[in-house]
Amino acid sequence: MAEQMGATAPAAQKLADNIERIEALSHRLFSALSERKMPNPGVEGPGPELAMTATSAWMKMLAEQPARVIEQQVNYWGETLKNYTKAQMELAKGSFHAPEDDSPADKRFQNPLWQSHPYFKLVKRQYLTNAEALKRATDELDLSDGTARRRLDWLTNQIIDMMSPTNFLATNPDALERAVQTEGESLVKGLENLVRDVEQHGGEMIVSLADRDAFSVGENIGTAEGRVVHRTPLFELIQYAPTTDQVHELPLIVFPPWINKFYILDLKPQNSLIRWLVGQGHSLFVVSWKNPDASYSDTGIEDYIAAYIDAMDKVRDLTGQHRLNAVGYCIAGTTLSMTLALLNKRGDDRVNSATFFTTLTDFSEQGEFVNFLQNDFVDGIAEEVERHGLMRAPLMSRTMSFLRANDLVWGPAVRSYMLGEAPPAFDLLYWNGDSTNLPGRMAIQYLRGLCQQNLFAGDGFDLMGHRLHISDVKVPLCAVACEGDHIAPWRDCWRGVAQMGSDDKTFLLSESGHVAGIVNPPTRKKYGHYTGGRDFRHGAEAWRESAAFDAGSWWPSWGTWLAERAGRMVPARSPEEGLEAAPGSYVHERAG
């Protein structure tokens, strides 16, 4: 008896300690949730018009084809009854060796219990049955509006992903096994993780994708040597120290997107595009954008274009060169193209060549963003801007995450909140979480004028006293797109390049996605690229058919193209003392 009491005492004490921790964490959670600002229905989901469209289509089908509706219901309940009967039979056998599952492979269901245990197998079968019934019901609705069709399909998939049994403790064998193995400790740690995330995000439940304490910009990422040589209220200009005795005569300036921080180009030494470009003998300048607060609410696209020109002026002053080469990444590439159109209108030839990374300039096809670029959602963002002066970082992060909900929302939430795992120390995900606010005026100009109205590729975008067209971009250019990019699909990037007025156009297509396809150093030998193919008259597929595949990184191909347009070699230029060491101050400002 004494031995039994001795054995159970530590377990009882641990249980008491965990109950006390749960109670304290619950108080913190309720307190943090109370800090959540009043939600804006306009950005929480599609407006009522989509629901009305779907309801009207269903009522129409019910009135005109009642047998079809009844058939859907009968099929659904027939499959449900079949699933239940199979589970009963397997349980009656008294054996957990169920027949093999022939459903498609899905990494959410890797635990062997999904295959062998009748209970979990029933849960999985019924989930797949429900998912198929939802898809079939929406697929068979007669929707004449193509945009409504795409939005309804997207919303249906979001519901299906959200209702996965892996997202609930009682139907997740991994979480239940972990809870038993750790005597409940995993659930307590999961609650700690949940409270931390809610507290960090002002009452919003946004799962942390990476360990925020594992990295420090300027210490173990973003460490390339350089100096901040110019600062304005909107940006810092960093000149990087040369690593070669000679450099190309024409300097190179890189404009990163201001949706995220510039150090995506300088995460670690081995995958740093910044270090690689310096090593190729370029006098390299990179812009680090200000993370705006509400005082920047009236900052517009014209202010960013003015900043481009200001940064170029400073580079030309520091190097004594009239001309330079420029790079724009993502939205910064879109704005670079508008800057080039403006310079062309002004007769200014300062830009010798331009390179675009994953850049959209023709928004006639909105891809996966079609769900967020309709008036109901954009009107909701306009309300946010009116209220806060900004398109705040959490809204942008959430929008991007739900484009890949299983990978960026539900999967990380399960690992963090149900398995009690700490977020991984992954530099790319850390950068992804270090997002920025967008000035209100600029965000609405971009969403309304570029994305919705497609003015730059259409009737023209009126800015700074000129009407700018995509055909006004006439400098030699190279565009890099990524085959798996869901943010800037490569065919859409290609279509914009095809309309530009340059006689010297090169297009490179990298394997992988929006970030991994760009951050693809030659040493990794992971993703190849397509090059060649100068036919821009017969569509993207014709271009691809005429292109050649190279198993290596696109960096060397672009490096050769850039070197041919960078002038002769001259003695290396070292940055002046400047204002402070790279990576500067603006990069450390986190969105509030």
- Catalytic residue set: 330
Residue whose C-alpha is closest to residue 360's, from 257, 476, 284: 257
CA distance 61 to 91: 40
Q: Give just the sign of the alpha carbon dihedral 62, 66, 72, 76.
A: positive
CA distance 168 to 150: 28
Judge residue 191's burial from the number of C-beta atoms within 10 Å of its C-beta, 0-12 exposed, 13-18 middle, 19 or more buried: buried
Beta bridge partners of 235: 289
CA distance 412 to 128: 22
Q: Which residues of 355-379 are buried (b: 16+ CB within 10 A; e: fewer)?
A: bbbbbbbbbeebbebebbbbebbbe
Q: What is the DSSP letter of 143?
A: -
Q: Do the strands 226-231 and 235-240 form a parallel or antiparallel pair, or are they unpaired?
A: antiparallel
- The CA angle 392-423-201, to the nearest 5 degrees, is 25
Is-contact 280 308, C-beta < 8 A?
no
567 Ramachandran zone, left/alpha/beta (phi>0; psi -120 to 50): left
In which residue are the tokens 């821009």 written? 536
CA distances from residue 472 to 254, 260, 336, 468, 586 in whole angstroms, order as listed: 21, 28, 12, 7, 33
Residue whose C-alpha is closest to residue 492's, from 475, 505, 471, 509: 509
- Determine the number of helices (DSSP H) and then strands (DSSP E) in the chain: 20, 17
Residue whose C-alpha is closest to residue 435's, from 407, 397, 381, 405: 397
Neighbours of 116 (CB within 10 A): 17
| CA quadruple 544, 547, 550, 553: dihedral, nearest 10 | -70
Question: Is there a cis peptide before residue 104, judged by omega within 30 degrees of 0?
Answer: no
Q: Is 242 helix (H, G, I), strand (E, B) or coil?
A: coil
DSSP structure string for 545-586: HHEEEESS-SHHHHHHHHHTTS-SEEE-----S-SEETT-SG
330 Ramachandran zone, left/alpha/beta (phi>0; psi -120 to 50): left
